[in-house]
């Protein structure tokens, strides 16, 4: 048990998230932790410095039905006080004017709200760092939407698209929401994240069909192009975007984030040369990132989860856990390539084996199973189809 002196030191050094007038039963999430607002709840204290994901969902009076989740990233500094106030008309947390913030900052530093603040559970901080270690203020600034809020209510058109796979159809059904939360197309465009564009196939003029096919079977050249064009060669920035998208999807229930996470995973697991020659160390870091994402988010949970835990995370059903989803096929092929390679980085091989064991043990996936005629391949999503695609007509810059 933490002694009073240590606790006081953590309160002073940690950041404070002060939330005013939050209705009872509202779910408030900070990283991997979820709180339910009671009559005296005013926020979270002892938040370690660094990046964090804050998300919330308003409830009805009985606390049974929840609105779509809204989330935002912060990069907290030591002793910082972050203030948000509930706007009942819009059912959302809003920022205060600068002079109001200063008044509440002083009150927090005088411990006037201390008894109404829940403590950040530091025993879960290590788990959070495992799935967010490459996210920093530059990653957040680069990707976050105008206003900072991430929510499926700004992704209306994605709910109206035709999903490719059985798993995606199930996901769309899970994330359907009441039409009253929909926003206009104009508002939706303003509030979307600025993710990197990942082509589904390589397009090159002036090369043979054989060369084009080879480039699509091994996405190494596409990876190299994206790394230099969009990330200035910074591998950790790409991994930061992968983690950003995963967190926004799993905790923020963003469908756009799911598609981006899937696109990045598909790109990285679709390279056969980069893991062994040009980008061995990137792949050690990538498989380690993927391992902790799978460990945290894509493993079967027991039935002991509380209603708040269920309400603030994507409900993963058997379509996620079966061997018919896109992740199984990508992992099966990639694991086989690494394990059968004549020369491979030792750390990469170690993490591939750990990831494979995790999926086999926790999800029951069998990577020795051969593809059969009866296996659902997701409308040939995994087949090496070559398609000519148009280059983006405009950049996705913020205004």
Contact between 173 and 221 under an 8 Å Cβ cutoff? The reply is no
Q: For residue 198, what pLDDT band results from cuts at 50, 70 and 90?
A: very high
The answer, yes or no, to whether residue 390 has pLDDT greater than 90, is: no
Supply 125's token pair: 């901080």
% of residues, the chain, pLDDT over 70: 71
The reported pTM is: 0.85
Q: Please tell me the predicted confidence (pLDDT) of residue 169.
A: 66
Task: Name the residue among 331, 382, 340, 348 with its Cα closest to residue 280.
Answer: 348
The answer, yes or no, to whether residue 21 has pLDDT greater than 90, is: yes
- State how beta strands 15-20 and 81-87 pair: parallel
- How many residues comprise the chain? 399
Task: Name the residue among 111, 182, 101, 195 with its Cα closest to residue 145.
Answer: 195
Contact between 66 and 311 under an 8 Å Cβ cutoff? The reply is yes
Task: Name the residue among 56, 63, 134 with its Cα closest to residue 312.
Answer: 56
- 284-311 confidence digits (pLDDT tens): 999 999 999 998 887 555 544 444 444 4
Q: For residue 316, what pLDDT band results from cuts at 50, 70 and 90?
A: low
CA 16-127-239 angle, to 5 degrees, is 95
Q: H or E stretch including 225?
A: helix 220-231
Higher pLDDT, 294 or 379: 294
First to last CA, the chain: 50
Task: Name the residue among 269, 296, 295 with its Cα closest to residue 282.
Answer: 269
% of residues, the chain, pLDDT over 90: 53
Residues contacting 12, CB < 8 A, separation 6+ = 79
Q: Please tell me the predicted confidence (pLDDT) of residue 309.
A: 45
- 70-102 confidence digits (pLDDT tens): 999 999 998 899 999 999 888 899 999 888 889
Please give the C-alpha separations between residue 245 and each of 63, 75, 137, 183, 313, in angstroms, as whole numbers: 28, 16, 15, 22, 14
Helix, strand, coil shares of the chain, percent, nearest 5, are 45, 15, 45
Mean pLDDT (the chain, rounded): 81
- State how beta strands 50-57 and 92-94 pair: unpaired
Q: Please tell me the predicted confidence (pLDDT) of residue 265.
A: 96
Q: For residue 108, what pLDDT band results from cuts at 50, 70 and 90?
A: very high
Rounded Cα gap, residues 368 and 329, in angstroms? 12
Contact between 287 and 352 under an 8 Å Cβ cutoff? The reply is yes
Query: What domains, with CATH codes, occur in the chain?
Result: 4-132 (2.60.34.20), 200-362 (1.25.40.550)
Task: Name the residue among 124, 128, 121, 118 with its Cα closest to residue 44.
Answer: 118
């Amino acid at each position: 048990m933490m002694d009073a002196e240590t606790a006081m030191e953590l309160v002073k050094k940690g950041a404070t998230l002060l939330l005013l007038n939050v209705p009872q039963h509202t779910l408030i999430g900070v990283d991997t932790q979820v709180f339910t607002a009671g009559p005296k709840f005013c926020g979270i204290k002892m938040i370690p410095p660094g990046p964090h994901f804050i998300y919330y969902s308003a409830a009805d009076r009985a606390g049974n039905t929840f609105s779509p989740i809204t989330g935002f990233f912060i990069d907290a500094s030591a002793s910082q006080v972050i203030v948000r106030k509930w706007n009942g008309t819009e059912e959302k947390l809003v920022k205060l004017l600068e002079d109001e913030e200063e008044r509440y900052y002083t009150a927090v530093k005088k411990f006037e709200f201390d008894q109404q603040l829940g403590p950040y559970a530091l025993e879960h901080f290590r788990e959070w760092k495992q799935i967010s270690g490459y996210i920093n203020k530059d990653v957040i600034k680069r990707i976050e939407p105008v206003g900072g809020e991430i929510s499926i209510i700004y992704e209306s058109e994605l709910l109206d698209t035709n999903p490719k796979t059985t798993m995606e159809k199930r996901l769309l059904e899970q994330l359907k929401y009441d039409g009253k939360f929909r926003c206009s197309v104009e508002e939706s465009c303003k509030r979307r994240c600025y993710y990197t564009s990942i082509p589904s196939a390589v397009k090159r003029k002036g090369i043979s069909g054989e060369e084009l096919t080879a480039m699509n079977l091994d996405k190494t050249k596409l990876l190299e192009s994206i790394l230099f064009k969009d990330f200035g060669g910074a591998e950790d920035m790409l991994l930061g975007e992968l983690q950003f998208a995963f967190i926004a999807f799993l905790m923020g229930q963003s469908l756009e984030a799911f598609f981006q996470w899937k696109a990045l995973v598909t790109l990285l697991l679709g390279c056969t040369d980069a893991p062994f020659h040009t980008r061995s160390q990137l792949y050690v870091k990538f498989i380690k990132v993927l391992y902790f994402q799978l460990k945290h988010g894509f493993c079967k949970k027991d039935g002991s989860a509380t209603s708040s835990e269920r309400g603030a995370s994507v409900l993963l059903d058997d379509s996620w856990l079966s061997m018919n989803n896109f992740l199984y096929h990508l992992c099966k092929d990639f694991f086989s390539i690494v394990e059968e390679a004549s020369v491979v980085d030792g750390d990469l091989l170690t993490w591939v084996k750990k990831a494979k064991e995790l999926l086999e043990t926790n999800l029951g996936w069998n990577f020795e199973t051969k593809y059969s005629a009866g296996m659902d391949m997701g409308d040939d999503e995994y087949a090496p189809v070559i398609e000519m695609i148009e280059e983006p007509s405009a950049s996705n810059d913020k205004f």
